[in-house]
A = this chain, B = another copy of it.
Amino acid sequence: MTRDAPPEVLTSRLGYLFKHAHLRLAEESARALAPHGIDGRELAVLAVLDAHDELSQLEAAGKLGIDRTTMVALIDTLEGKELVERRRSPSDRRKNIVQLTAAGRERLRGAELARQEMERRFLAPLSSTDATRLVRSLQALVGAPASTGHAPDSV
C-alpha cells in the first residue's frame, strides 16, 4: 500500500486522528510486547485478572468489554502458555475461575514495564503537560471513571 503524506482535509478529522493514533500505537505495542510472547489484549486480560481476584471468564469478559465466546479462545491461548489456570468454582460449578499462575504474574510484570516504556516513547513528541492533558481528555471522552476516584466496578 503506497501511502502519501495525508492531506489536510483528512488530518483535521477526528475520525482520521483517532484511527491512525490507534494504528500507530498498535504497531509500537506489538513491537514492544513481542519479546514477551503476548499481545496487547492478552496483557489486558492478565492485568484485569491480577487486579481482581476470583473472576470467572464471564466476569473478566465483562470488565474487558469482549464477548464470552472471544474470551474462550483468549483463555485457551493464555492457558496454553501456562500464564493462567482455569478451575471450577466450588460454589457454582458452571463457572470457570481464571487465575494467574506464578509465571503469569512474572510475565505480567515484565510486559507492563515494556508497555509503560513504549507509551512513554509514543508520547515523547508532546510536552509532559500536553501528554497528561491528552490522557485526561481521552478519559473524559470515553466516559472513564475520574482518575482521582476508584473504579466503580459493577461485579
Contact = CB atoms under 8 A, between A and B. Distances in A.
Interface stretch (A75-83, A86-94, A99-107, A136-144): A136-144
Contact of A9 (B20, B21, B26, B51): B51
A115 B20 contact: no
A29 interface: yes
Contact of A20 (B10, B48, B123, B142): B142
Contact of A142 (B21, B26, B153): B21
Interface of A: 1-22, 24-26, 29, 40, 44, 47-48, 50-52, 58, 62-67, 115, 119, 122-123, 125-126, 130-131, 133-135, 137-145, 147, 150-155
